[in-house]
Amino acid sequence: MIIAEGKPLVEVAGLIKDAKKVLVVGCGGCVTVCLAGGEKETGILAAELRLLRKKEGNPLETVEVTLTRQCDPEYVEMLNKYVTDDVDVIVSLACGVGVQFLAERYNKWVVPALNTKFAGGTVAHGVWEERCGLCGECILYKTGGICPIIRCSKSILNGPCGGSQGGKCEVNPETPCAWQLIYDRMQALGKLELLMEIQPPKDWSKSRDGGPRKVVREDVTIDG
Amino acid sequence: MADFEPKIIAFCCFYCAYSAADLAGSMRLQYPANIRVIEMPCSGKTDIRVLLEAFEDGADGVYVLGCMEGDCHFLKGNFRAKRRVREAKKILDEIGIGGERLEMYNLSAAMGPRFAEIAREFTDHIRKLGPSPVKLKPGTATEKAPTGQ
């Protein structure tokens, strides 16, 4: 899932300082699971903003809505009835995708309440780690299910580098060396010989180097 | 300020503080009438949003009462409450209301006198702090839409 975390309250409050009425929109997708922008966090943020503004003697009206997802137009359009003329700002608690989908659809000032961090998963309650670099061409079958693109600080394909010490990364001694993990796993699986193959330079045109990406599935498109 | 009577909300766990309040009553113990007791099934029901909304709606102080550590009927509810109260205190500091207006205490159902003592202590504490900064300002409207399905 996409992992995000809330922006500091004062930052969000600064973004809506001139507004009298804001629509606070949560998302029921990834950010609900990573406890950053679901219905609960939407309620807390709205309460914080109201309380802050009430204390400043400049009351703020909030309307809270949590959409099933902010990254699908059919759910976004359910917001239509709440986007009234008197709404000054829409505060989105989605990842950057949700914020943009709202901004594209409505002629309103849309601001993000979260910082979108990475694609990862839950490793313990309240702890999330990055696992996928979204590089566009998966090579996990070559590395025992451990991604060298994102878990190796240098994203090298023929590791480890000389900075791998005691199984830890030289960039951050708390980070396990991805190539040590890969070696250990391949050894445990009896597939060390697969690591003998030299990997050619990766085709980064399938990643961000090719500009914004798009996936089209002809079999499921409806129009055209 | 001399005639300031704080409005205080006490969120009470059913298994300890709520019974302790009953006991305090049975024992005819005196404690300030500033306390509004709200029953919770467990202090683990503590919700940051509800704590904040108590202040928004005019509370000068809020406290959560949970079971003694290790004695939660649901095992870890009071520890969860403790963390949420800690987080809510940070938010109150950030907003400028002051985290010291929110506290958590632990007691057991047999501690009627302690219930009354906490009520007196906390009321004195809030009386010294004065009215909530939020209360001095005009009110505001809120609306909660259903989850957008």
Query: Which residues of A are less than 8 Å from B79 in CB distance?
Result: none
Query: Domains along chain B?
Result: 8-129 (3.40.50.960)
The pLDDT of residue A208 is 84
- Cα–Cα distance measured from residue B102 to residue B99, given in angstroms and rounded to the nearest whole number: 6
> Which of B60, B84, B136, B144 is the best mutation test for A, with the most CBs of A within 10 A?
B144
B3 Cβ under 8 Å from any chain A Cβ: no
Q: Which run of H or E residues covers position B61?
A: strand B61-66
Predicted confidence band of residue A78 (pLDDT cuts 50, 70, 90): very high
**Looking at chain A, how many residues does it have?**
224
Q: Where are the domains of chain A?
A: 2-118, 133-210
The pLDDT of residue A96 is 97
The pLDDT of residue B144 is 55
Topology, domain A2-118: Rossmann fold (3.40.50)
Mean pLDDT, chain A, integer: 95
Closest chain A C-alpha to B119 CA, distance in angstroms: 25
Dihedral angle, C-alpha B9, A11, A125, A26, nearest 10 °: 80
**Chain A nearest-CA residue for B57:** A51
A125 Cβ under 8 Å from any chain B Cβ: no
Binary contact (B95, A59; C-beta < 8 A): no
**Pair of tokens at residue A207:** 């990643």
Closest chain B C-alpha to A135 CA, distance in angstroms: 33
Q: Are A66 and A38 in contact (CB under 8 A)?
A: yes
Q: Which of B5, B11, B8, B7 is nearest to B105 (CA)?
A: B11
Task: Write the DSSP assignment of chain A as a string of letters.
Answer: -EEEEEPPHHHHHHHTTT-SEEEEEEESSHHHHTTSSSHHHHHHHHHHHHHHHHHTT---EEEEEEES-SSSHHHHGGGGGG--TT--EEEE-S-HHHHHHHHHHSSSEEEESEEEEEEEEEEETTEEEEEE---SS--GGGTTT--HHHHSTT--SS---TT-BTTB-SS-TTSBPHHHHHHHHHHHHT-GGGGGSPPPPP-GGGTGGGSS-----TTT----
The mean pLDDT of A156-169, rounded to a whole number, is 94
The percentage of chain A sitting over the pLDDT mark of 90, rounded to a whole number, equals 94
**Which pLDDT tens digit goes with each residue over B90-126?**
999 999 999 999 999 999 999 999 999 999 999 999 9
Predicted confidence band of residue B135 (pLDDT cuts 50, 70, 90): confident
**Pair of tokens at residue A20:** 């009298």
- Cα–Cα distance measured from residue B45 to residue B12, given in angstroms and rounded to the nearest whole number: 10
